[in-house]
Amino acid sequence: MRVSDCDVIRDLWPQCKASIFKRANEVMLNIDPNGIFVAEEVDTGKIIGYCCGVKVSPKLGFIGGYAVRPEYQGQGVGPVIWKKVMDYLGDINIALFARTQEMGEKYGEKWGFQMMKHKRLVHMTGKVVLNDDICVKSIDGITVCPITTELLPGVTEYDSDICDGIDRRLFIDGVIKSPETWNLVAINERREVCGYCIIYRALCHVTVVGPLYADNEHIAELLVTRCLQLIPEDRQQNVLYYSWNINLKSIEIAEKLGLKLTYNRPIMYSKQAIDGKLDKIFTVSSTMYYPF
């Protein structure tokens, strides 16, 4: 895939009803410029499908996007791109979020992916209600501010500690510098990062919270509440909050914000599960990027 293909690929996403960060492919091309493949018509050069399978670390690959234009489905295009991605990723551990339980079972049957039984990704959605009477407004000893160039190294170090040692500097830097994104970081009295939150405008008129990482639920609630206050009111009408079903404190925060559970999805790996520090993951980054 070329950078010039990004606008064409964006046109495929609404067909999948996917809540995807608008500049997802530009960010991922910085992380792995060889990990996104497209299928084109030989005569016209028209892009008819794509699959994103990037190497997010030397030992971990992630499949975050896979679509074929409706009029070309059922002709074998999808399986060919999929195999191209699998060949590229090779024998490393590969993660993905299946769209549905049925799709997850197919990935398991055809490609040997294992569905994680102990956790699923729940989608909490709705119109945000920022109620000062029930939401954390401040915490003694904690300062909340935007992620600056000076604070970015501390944020990426904190992030890496949560995400199994993976360096996600390019991802974090790419997202926070993109249009229609909002972010905050929590700093303690020792000037240490103890949490951060990013909110971004996705396609399909959805505003997505993630990642939201924090040392505890009080810091997480403070960060996400303050961050939501930064966004325009019309962006608060349809918010998507990704959480693990086993993080009950995270789900409680989403419910305080007026969000409701809509559905859940399985997380799958080709080799072994990688959880990261689950107690600090209140929302995952994005189903396009990483399993954290």
Quote the CA–CA distance of 248 and 200 in Å, as a whole number: 23
User: CB-side exposure of 84: number of CA atoms within 13 Å?
Assistant: 18
pTM of the model: 0.94
Report yes or no: 154 and 193 within 8 Å, Cβ to Cβ. yes
How much is the average pLDDT of 191-220? 94
Quote the CA–CA distance of 280 and 212 in Å, as a whole number: 8
- Tracing tokens 């067909």 back to the chain, one arrives at 15
Q: Where are the domains of the chain?
A: 3-118, 122-283
How much is the average pLDDT of 56-68? 93
Quote the CA–CA distance of 118 and 246 in Å, as a whole number: 8
How much is the average pLDDT of 53-82? 93
pLDDT in tens, 168-182: 999 999 999 999 999
Quote the pLDDT of residue 178.
92
How much is the average pLDDT of 219-230? 96
Q: What is the CATH number of domain 3-118?
A: 3.40.630.30
- With 90 as the cut, is the pLDDT of residue 200 above it? yes
Could you tell me which of 160, 159, 117 has the C-alpha nearest to residue 273? 117
Q: Tell the burial category of 148 from Cβ atoms under 10 Å away from its Cβ (0-12, 13-18, 19+).
A: exposed
pLDDT in tens, 12-31: 776 666 667 778 888 889 99
Quote the pLDDT of residue 136.
84
pLDDT in tens, 71-129: 999 999 999 999 999 999 999 999 999 988 998 998 899 899 999 988 999 999 999 99
Quote the pLDDT of residue 17.
61
Quote the pLDDT of residue 202.
85
Quote the CA–CA distance of 196 and 143 in Å, as a whole number: 11
Q: Give 21 or 160, the one with higher predicted confidence.
A: 160
The token pair that represents 171 in the structure block: 């991802």
How much is the average pLDDT of 4-12? 85
Quote the CA–CA distance of 204 and 186 in Å, as a whole number: 30
Could you tell me which of 239, 241, 253 has the C-alpha nearest to residue 128? 239
- With 90 as the cut, is the pLDDT of residue 205 above it? no
Cβ count near 179 (within 10 Å) = 8
- In CATH, what class is 122-283? alpha beta
Could you tell me which of 140, 170, 119 has the C-alpha nearest to residue 273? 119
Does 122-283 match 3-118 at the fold level?
A: yes
What is the residue-averaged pLDDT of the chain? 92
How much is the average pLDDT of 29-50? 92
